[in-house]
């Protein structure tokens, strides 16, 4: 018998394989967090460089880990299970709040040992602002988790509609019969 070609698209989740980096990026909480954490990363690195800290590059690795967990949360939010979403959220919130507390603690003047001598570093307003940006990101993520999923899914789908859904990299939530799926799964 001749084989019939398979015309079905491979899907990772309800928004397709391109949904991994597609419209889910434009989720309001994701935009707030990406902006806040990018500014916080720049502020922390510049503050540490101004204080002549030899480990100024360490926060860069930390912010890369935060970015991975942030992306993991939003991917789990739209494509994953409830357990995965909550697990990643708890890790992300704890990381944001603890790192915010660390930056707040390091904002005050303190003494450090630097090449066999004790020096006093000045107060850093950049570290204080980075701490506040971490708290703002945690608040945005918590509000995002509490809001009903269908509202946010509709919002991102309407954003795709305004840009032209035919040209979008990922499709809206569709059921197998081609109609929009409003389920809060």
Q: Decide if pLDDT at 24 tops 70.
A: no
d(CA 15, CA 77): 12
C-alpha 158/C-alpha 149 separation (Å) is 14
User: Is the pLDDT assigned to residue 120 strictly greater than 60?
Assistant: yes
The token pair that represents 89 in the structure block: 């959220």
24 vs 55 pLDDT, higher one = 55
DSSP string, 49-114: HHTT-TTTTHHHHHHHHHHHHHHHHHHHHHHS-HHHHHHHHHHHHHHHHHHHHHHHHHHS-EEEEE
User: 11-20, 134-143, 147-156: lowest mean pLDDT where?
Assistant: 11-20
- What's phi and psi for 110, nearest 5 deg? -155, 165
pLDDT confidence bin for 126, thresholds 50/70/90: very high
For the four alpha carbons of 24, 29, 32 and 37, in that order, the dihedral sign comes to negative
Determine the average pLDDT of the residues in 39-48.
94
pLDDT(141) > 50: yes
The band of 61, judged by pLDDT with boundaries at 50, 70 and 90, is: very high
Give the lowest-confidence range in 2-11, 79-88, 148-157, 175-184.
175-184
């Amino acid at each position: 018998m001749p084989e019939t070609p398979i015309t079905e698209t491979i899907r990772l989740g309800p928004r397709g394989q391109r949904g991994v980096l597609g419209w889910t990026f434009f989720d309001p909480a994701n935009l707030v967090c990406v902006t806040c954490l990018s500014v916080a990363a720049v502020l922390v690195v510049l503050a540490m460089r101004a204080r002549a800290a030899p480990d100024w590059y360490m926060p860069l690795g930390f912010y890369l880990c935060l970015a991975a967990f942030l992306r993991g949360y939003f991917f789990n939010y739209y494509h994953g299970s409830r357990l995965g979403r909550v697990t990643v959220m708890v890790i992300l919130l704890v990381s944001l709040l603890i790192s915010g507390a660390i930056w707040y603690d390091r904002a005050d003047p303190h003494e450090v040992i630097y090449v066999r001598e004790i020096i006093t570093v000045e107060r850093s307003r950049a570290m204080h602002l980075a701490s506040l940006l971490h708290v703002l990101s945690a608040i945005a993520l918590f509000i995002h988790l509490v809001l009903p999923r269908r509202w946010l899914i509709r919002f991102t789908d309407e954003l795709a509609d305004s840009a032209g859904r035919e040209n979008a990299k990922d499709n809206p939530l569709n059921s197998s019969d081609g109609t929009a799926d409003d389920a809060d799964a």
